[in-house]
Amino acid sequence: MSDAFHHFENRLEIIGDTLIESFEKARNESSSTIASNCLGDIIKPEKNLKKKDVLHFLYSKIHQNNKEDAIMKILDMYKIDLHGLKDPVKFRFLKLSPIFYKWVIEIFGPCTEITKVCFDDILESCVCADLYLQQNPDQVILGDMKDSAFKSILSLYRDYCDEKVPFKILHLQYLTKSRAIDIIKPFFEIALPNILHLYGDNAQKNRSNNKLKVNYKNEVDVNEWIKKLEDLDDTSSETFKNLLAEFSEKNRYILRKKNLRYRNIQLLIYSF
């Protein structure tokens, strides 16, 4: 069924409803069920989705009360979750179409569970690719391991960071292993100042271009982040440790002005 919607994606405004009605009669299912099933199928990477139009159309046909639940069920079906780093690390790409991840951040914003789950997959894919290349420095990316695909993942990662999708403490196990500045830097430039509430509401509002401020205070205890950063060990990459030291030095004055519970982060630069 999904292939029909994909094939006619440029004409869905004209024949989309007719397709839905035809499948309703043929399968004796509701339009909402058909739309949900087709959306779940069409976002497979092998479908090579190019536009968001078909996603918008199918999503509009899902029953209003079931929309977010339907997307979460799709993510659960594909086991979109953090799986941890294994040795040796395998080069892997996103589990779903890059277009789907772009559509998610556009429709659901930065703070929904749907977006956070997608961010898990994007971050894990980025770091796994980086670690694979670290472990195989002389191996070029062959076959479906194309350089353009890796750049696509990095681009999505940056988009999600720019939209201030919250990082989780669990993400540190990935960030600390990466050597790629493009992966680590957004954490220190965008996320960590927000996590530690360094700049205040007005400054943060300006930095966010009036977008919704992510309130990490409601996500976790800030002290948990401090403790995790203090507990970094020798397995952390030099890139991560250097950027942490730069962050600490750059924000030394602000950190000192904060509550004493932040004081230890200033000492991190001396702990390596």
| Res 150: pLDDT | 77
Residues 266 and 179 in one domain: yes
8 A C-beta contact, residue 116 and residue 220: no
| Res 203: pLDDT | 43
The H or E element that residue 57 is part of is: helix 53-60
Residues 224 and 238 in one domain: yes
For the chain, the domain total comes to 3
Residues 196 and 111 in one domain: no
Digits of tens for pLDDT over the chain (272 positions)?
Answer: 888 877 777 788 888 899 989 988 899 999 999 999 999 999 999 998 889 999 999 999 999 888 999 999 999 999 887 777 766 567 778 999 999 999 999 999 999 999 999 999 999 999 988 888 778 777 655 444 556 777 889 999 999 999 999 999 999 999 999 999 999 999 999 999 888 877 664 444 444 443 444 555 554 577 788 888 888 878 899 999 999 989 888 887 777 766 534 445 544 544 44
Residue 259's CB is within 10 A of a number of other CB atoms, namely 10
| Res 82: pLDDT | 78
Residue 156 is assigned to a structural domain of this protein: yes
Tokens 């004055």 belong to 253
Residues 58 and 85 in one domain: no
Report helix angle 53-60 to 12-27, nearest 10: 50
Q: How far apart are CA 58 and CA 47, in angstroms?
A: 15
Residues 30 and 108 in one domain: no
Residue 69 is assigned to a structural domain of this protein: no
Single-letter amino acid code for the residue at 85: L
> What does pTM read for this prediction?
0.85
Name residues whose C-beta falls within 8 Å of residue 92's C-beta, 6 or more positions apart in sequence: 125, 128, 129
Q: What are phi and psi of 122, to 5 degrees?
A: -65, -50
| Res 197: pLDDT | 79
Residue where one domain finishes, among candidates 20, 41, 64 = 64
Domain that holds residue 47: 1-64
| Res 216: pLDDT | 57
Residues 258 and 176 in one domain: yes
Residue 72 is assigned to a structural domain of this protein: no
Residues 95 and 118 in one domain: yes
Residues 48 and 91 in one domain: no
Residues 104 and 158 in one domain: yes
Q: How far apart are CA 262 and CA 271, in angstroms?
A: 16
